[in-house]
Amino acid sequence: MNNPGNIFQHAHYYSPPQQRAEMLHNYITYPQVNRAIDEEFLTIWNKNKKILRNYRDQLLEYNVNPTISRHLFIQMIQYSLDVNQSQTGALEERVTALYSKVRQDLGPSLSILNPYRIPRKKLDVILKGVLELSIQDEEDPVGNRSWSDWEEVNGALSSGPSVVSLDNDRLKVFVRGRHRHLYSIEWDGHSWLEWENHGGNLTSSPTVVKTNKNSCIDVFSRGENNHLIHKRYKDGIWSEWEDLGGALTTSPVAISPDDHTISVFARNTAKQIQQMNWNGDQWSEWCETVSGQVTSAPGAVSVGNGQFYLFSRDTNGELQYTYFNGADWSNWKSLGCKIYSSPTATILNQKQVEVFAKGNGNQLIHKQLRSNKWEEAEYIEGEVTSEPSVVAFVDSRMYLFAKSKNSQLLYKSYR
């Protein structure tokens, strides 16, 4: 890549209409633009080339010359690195505050885009996305993070696992074990505790979700009559198993769209995904969701504001997804990679959707939705024999679990 700092001397090559080239030369100014391009900037620039290219192409749809886009992106990232330390709060709050400063301090530079009549909402999304790259890099420097080796916890699993975080250091993993009973094991931040037996008669992998500011844990599975069964942990006490009916042909998956509601999804006898909801007081009836047949149990992740993604394997054996925007479902869309188990998903950095499933040869396949673009699949080596389960923490750590070929609990971390 050419030194990004040299772009400013080439701005005059932008041609029709000629007056815009003059605008570019006169308006794109920033007091510290002549400072040396430092290593931090180059790390962000090189690591996010694909995302920046995507933003450039979105501006190109409005006939913005790529040189102008590149020039603006450089200024914005440099500006962000100079002032970002003064921004505090959650990622979205920091991006919003930083964007306000950019519009104020770099207004003359941004005005070069005025003649292109880009819708304000569209432009805001693109420019905020550029700023977010530098903040995310500060919070989660990918170059310093990687997957650990697989580690093993003794057990006797007869299903895939399901994991939930209890706080910033503690985890609890649920599995089906001997005699079809539900078992759980906790990581207390330092070591694994003993397995606990919670009884039941499970005919599928369990799924777990937490609500009420982490004070409640709800576990679901398919029972012996293909009904949804449910057990709740609240105020230090486990409830008895509850039969919620239905006609499940796969394991269920549960998510909490907010802190007091639960949505449970499973495949029905028509090979469609059905849904049941807990509103904090009572359960709804089962209802259908998006149309289309699936060949696996679903995976799901909430992205806030009543919106979530569903994942499954399609009739061609490929990973597919649908999105619920709070009112309507999108059509199923293939992600183009073969999977050999049901998928699992989590949310990272408050925005990135991370999806995992068993791939060919018992390795895991990983797809990531970042800045509204699906990245290329990553393959994670290992001898796994079940669908995986994943959990993410606010500091961008992830923990991945699966069943080993000798029915032990496998896990690895991304940190």
pLDDT at 11: 35
pLDDT at 88: 62
pLDDT at 393: 84
Residue 366 pairs in a beta bridge with: 356, 378
- In the numeric block, which tokens belong to residue 347? 């949310």
- Could you tell me the domains of the chain? 4-142 (no CATH), 145-414 (2.120.10.70)
Question: How far is it, in rounded angstroms, from Cα 362 to Cα 251?
Answer: 20
3-state SS assignment for residue 156: coil
Q: Cβ–Cβ contacts within 10 Å for residue 301, how many?
A: 22
Query: For the chain, how are helix, strand and coil distributed in percent, rounded to 5?
Result: 30, 30, 40
Question: How far is it, in rounded angstroms, from Cα 354 to Cα 370?
Answer: 9
State the number of CA atoms in the 13 A half-sphere of 285 facing the CB: 2
Q: What is the pLDDT along the chain (415 residues), one digit of tens a residue?
A: 444 443 333 333 333 333 333 333 333 344 444 444 567 788 888 878 878 887 898 899 899 999 999 999 999 998 988 886 555 666 677 888 899 999 999 999 999 999 999 999 889 989 988 988 887 655 444 445 789 999 999 999 999 999 999 987 799 999 999 999 999 999 998 899 999 999 999 999 999 999 987 789 999 999 999 999 999 999 999 999 999 999 999 999 999 988 889 999 999 999 999 999 999 999 999 998 999 999 999 999 998 888 999 999 999 999 999 999 989 999 999 999 999 999 999 998 777 999 999 998 889 999 999 888 999 999 999 999 999 999 998 777 899 999 999 999 999 999 8
- What DSSP string describes 219-233? EEEE-TTS-EEEEEE
Shortest CA distance to 385 belongs to which of 53, 168, 160? 160
Distance of CA 366 to the CA centre of its chain: 11
Distance of CA 49 to the CA centre of its chain: 20
pLDDT at 51: 81
pLDDT at 167: 80
- In the numeric block, which tokens belong to residue 138? 């500060």
pLDDT at 232: 97
Give every CB contact of residue 210 below 8 A, 6+ residues apart in sequence. Answer: 164, 165, 166, 216, 217, 218, 256
- Tokens 């606010």 locate to 394
pLDDT at 171: 95
pTM (predicted TM-score): 0.68
